[in-house]
Amino acid sequence: MNPDRKHIVKGMGKFNFKKVACNHCTGAAAVQKMVDLGYPVVRGAARFGSKSDLYVGNGDTVKFG
């Protein structure tokens, strides 16, 4: 993760999200930082070509509400 952007991920905590659903474009390092900070990151299944279960990918669904 780019050190210049760590403050962005840390600053997200003030919004008290109930769920955070990232995709591959967020970047694995940023998503891992969110997990390490205890954010409610929705994990994926790493199927249908998705390379990691760290984030929501192809074929995954997220329910809000």
The pTM assigned to this predicted structure is 0.84
> Across the strands, what pairs with 41?
20
Q: How would residue 3 be classed by pLDDT, with cut points 50, 70 and 90? A: confident
Q: Tens digit of pLDDT for each residue in 21-48?
A: 999 999 999 999 999 999 999 999 999 9
How far apart are the C-alpha atoms of 64 and 17, rounded to whole Å?
11
- Which 3 state secondary structure label does DSSP give 41? strand
Q: How would residue 5 be classed by pLDDT, with cut points 50, 70 and 90? A: confident
For residue 11, report the phi and psi dihedrals to the nearest 5 degrees: -70, -20
